[in-house]
Structure 1
Amino acid sequence: MIRPIIGIPLGDPAGIGPEIVVKSLSKTEVYQTCRPLVIGDKDVVLQALKFCGLSLNIHSIQKAEEGTYELGTIDLIDLKNVDISNLKIGEIQALGGQAAFDYINKSVEMAMSREIDAIATTPINKESLKAANIDYIGHTEILAGLTNTTDPLTMFEVRNMRVFFLTRHVSLQQACNLVTKEKIIEYIVRCTEALKKLGIEDGTMAVAGLNPHSGEHGLFGNEEVIHVEPAVQEAQRMGYKVVGPISADSVFHLALQGRYNSVLSLYHDQGHIATKTLDFERTIALTNGLPFLRTSVDHGTALDIAGKGLASETSMIEAILIAAKYAPNFKN
């Protein structure tokens, strides 16, 4: 089987992104699974190698097809967009925000033209983007804007557990108000289609309960009775393989055991706590709904330790491996 080409934008050059990338590309398992291609700046990569005490060759290329993709050599699309003498490691700055955006933009161009098979992104910094007058708040918004995608869908994967989110960055009170029959049906449909794009068509989705013990049939909270149960029943009549509500204190464990192919979490922390407590470093975000597959580490630029060679590459490796896992089956 031909190893997929995974594009890896370098992230904010002032953060830990470059370090976790070069550390990841010193691992045999990455090259056994895929052909990693870095989109960044050669001077930044050289600096990261120095920070991490690594000795790897850099092969600068113009097109993905020119890469050697062999352990010991980093294949690089060099945008030459960082004056390393002006880069302040560990600091918020316009230079870092602009460079990070440029790497993502180039990665998207390559993914849209099918030059690469998927993208595995590294951390960027919201304040650095703002300093560079980049009119996006984060990765997902940038990717949505560059591809004209409406409301991309986030899925977390850790080990064999997959989690979707009905609501994300709203207050807990707002999240409860957004748990409606119509929205749940919409997300059951969207999540099922997202799984199909990844090549997952077997198994059953579970919708988590909102209240303790899913409200015990209205004894303490009636959202399940009014919204969740009717939504699941309607989706079942539509032909979707879904059950719920399943109490949130057990549904994630059951999914981990393989009973469900995914869980629809009803609010941000419900799903985040379950996945990150299980394995913080190996919890990977997948953005569904884009014209291409994108995975990402689920941590930030860690400016406080940038330049020290201390950052763990575990999450970056996992993001690359999951991109490689799904890329051959991804359907646009």
Structure 2
Amino acid sequence: MKGVIGITMGDPAGIGPEIILKALNTDSLSGTNCVVFGSVEILKSIIDKKLASPQELKIITSISDAIFAPGIVNVIDVPLEDMEHFEIGKVQAQAGDLAYRCIKQATELALKGEINAIATAPLNKEALHLGGHHYPGHTELLAKLTDTKDYAMVLYTDTLRVIHVTTHIALLKFLQTLNKTRVNTVIDIADKFMRKAGFANPRIAVAGVNPHAGENGLFGHEELEILNPSIAEMREQGVDVYGPCPPDTVFLQASQGQYDIVVAMYHDQGHIPLKLMGFYDGVNITAGLPFFRTSADHGTAFDIAWTGKANPESMVKSVELAVKLSTI
């Protein structure tokens, strides 16, 4: 079955269940080939509390059982351990464990080819750890479950796309461990990912580490010692890559069409410009996996969980992009 998207619930104590149901009730996604991995009891509670429009929850045990039609939400039930002691908007072990089990089940079916992409609702890293699953986040968890060694986080909008050399590590550790091999790997992942996403000859910009990309060693030597050799080597391999580019202008240039994707050196260098320019329509992608994985580009928002206030736009964009990528 082509173009089936698995949607994982994420942390049930957050806004994930609400934004999933809201997203699947939008005009662009109603009736599309989507299967939710999550607690039916949680989803039913969201509907009963009128936090999302009424929809029929169809419990299935295999993808072949799904009925893709407007008003129907196909669900592979991943039960919560103890609904009686479940707390909305709170960090708790059972919520982290459920988020993990949803990802694990969806990944197993994606590796079998039964679903073509996964769109993930946000999880809480502390809850994940409390549940006994010690991963920094979705990216590293999916890499482990798929035995993927070379991967990178991509933030994606229609006008700006950013891939990261490092993500969830301290800035000091980033500087201590930055090396040409990793930069080469991420440039290569960016090139292959963009080609899979429909870009025939992607133009890749590499952001510098230091202000003004180091000013030829005046503000640092990472550009001279690591980035310049990496970019030269990847150009020799036929990749259309540019830089090192001053970090304070390259993201604007990319958003205006000069580049198709920017290689950011560390988490906030890439996240800040993208979230400023596209907070609600940004999609988080794990590039390098054997299947496409997209995610809403925000957290669990415990402060507004189960209030009906959650904006589903990023989740909608995430599922829409998963549909698009899985059918290219």
TM score, norm. by length of structure 2: 0.92
1:266-291 alpha-carbon deviations (Å, 9 max, x no partner): 22211111101101122211011222
Check the 8 A contact 1:44/1:82 in 2, yes or no.
no
- Quick check: 319-328 or 185-194, which moved more? 185-194
Structure 1 match to 2:33: 35
Q: Which residues in structure 2 correspond to 1:2-41 (within 5 Å)?
A: 4-31=3-30, 34-41=32-39
Once residues 162 and 231 of structure 2 are traced to their aligned partners in structure 1, the CA distance between those partners, rounded to angstroms, is 17
Matched residue SS, 1:170: coil
Matched, 1:327 2:291: no
8 Å contact from structure 2 (residues 152, 165) kept in 1: no
Amino acid at match of 1:43: E
Q: 1:58 to 1:157 in 2, by over 3 A?
A: same
Is 2:135 the partner of 1:136?
Answer: yes
Structure 1: runs of 5+ lacking an equivalent: none
| SS across alignment from 1:207 | strand
Q: Which residue of 1 aligns with 2:294?
A: 295
Provide the C-alpha distance between the structure 2 equivalents of 1:55 and 1:295, rounded to a whole number of angstroms. Answer: 26
* Equivalent position of 2:172 in the other structure: 173
> Deviation per CA, 1:47-71, whole angstroms, max 9, x where unpaired?
1123415211112222223222222
Residue 247 of structure 2 corresponds to which residue in structure 1?
248
CA distance 1:225–1:127, change in 2 (3 Å): closer
Tell me how far apart the structure 2 counterparts of residues 13 and 185 of structure 1 sit (CA, whole Å): 38
Deviations 1:89-143 (A, max 9, x none): 1222222122222211111121111111100001112222233223434322322
C-alpha contact 2:55 2:72 (8 A) present in aligned 1: yes
Quote the residue 1:195 is aligned against.
194
- 1:81 Cα offset (Å): 4.1
Question: Which secondary structure does the structure 1 equivalent of 2:90 belong to?
Answer: coil
Task: Give the gaps of 5 or more residues in structure 2.
Answer: none
Q: Which moves more between the two structures, 278-287 or 149-158?
A: 149-158
Deviations 1:228-264 (A, max 9, x none): 2232122212222111112212211121122212111
Query: SS at 2:280's partner residue?
Result: coil
Give 1:83 deviation, angstroms.
4.3
Structure-2 separation of matches of 1:142 and 1:229 = 32
User: What CA distance in whole angstroms lies between the structure 1 residues aligned with 2:148 and 2:76?
Assistant: 25
> Which residue does 1:217 correspond to in 2?
216
Aligned to 1:220, the other structure's residue is in SS state coil
CA shift at 1:209, angstroms?
1.9
Within a 5 Å distance, the mapping from 1:264-275 to structure 2 comes to 264-275=263-274
Question: Contact between 1:27 and 1:71, CA under 8 Å: does it hold in 2?
Answer: no
Instruction: Give the percent of matched residue pairs that are identical in Structure 1 and Structure 2.
Output: 37
Q: TM-score, normalised by structure 1?
A: 0.91
Q: Residues of 1 paired with 2:166 and 2:82: CA distance?
A: 40
Q: Number of residues paired by the alignment?
A: 327
Between 1:232-241 and 1:172-181, the stretch displaced more is 172-181
User: Which amino acid counterpart does residue 13 of structure 1 have in structure 2?
Assistant: P
1:169 CA displacement: 2.4
Q: Which residue of 1 aligns with 2:285?
A: 286
Map 1:217-236; keep pairs closer than 5 Å. Answer: 217-236=216-235
1:169/1:101 Cα in 2 relative to 1: closer, same or farther (>3 Å)? Answer: closer
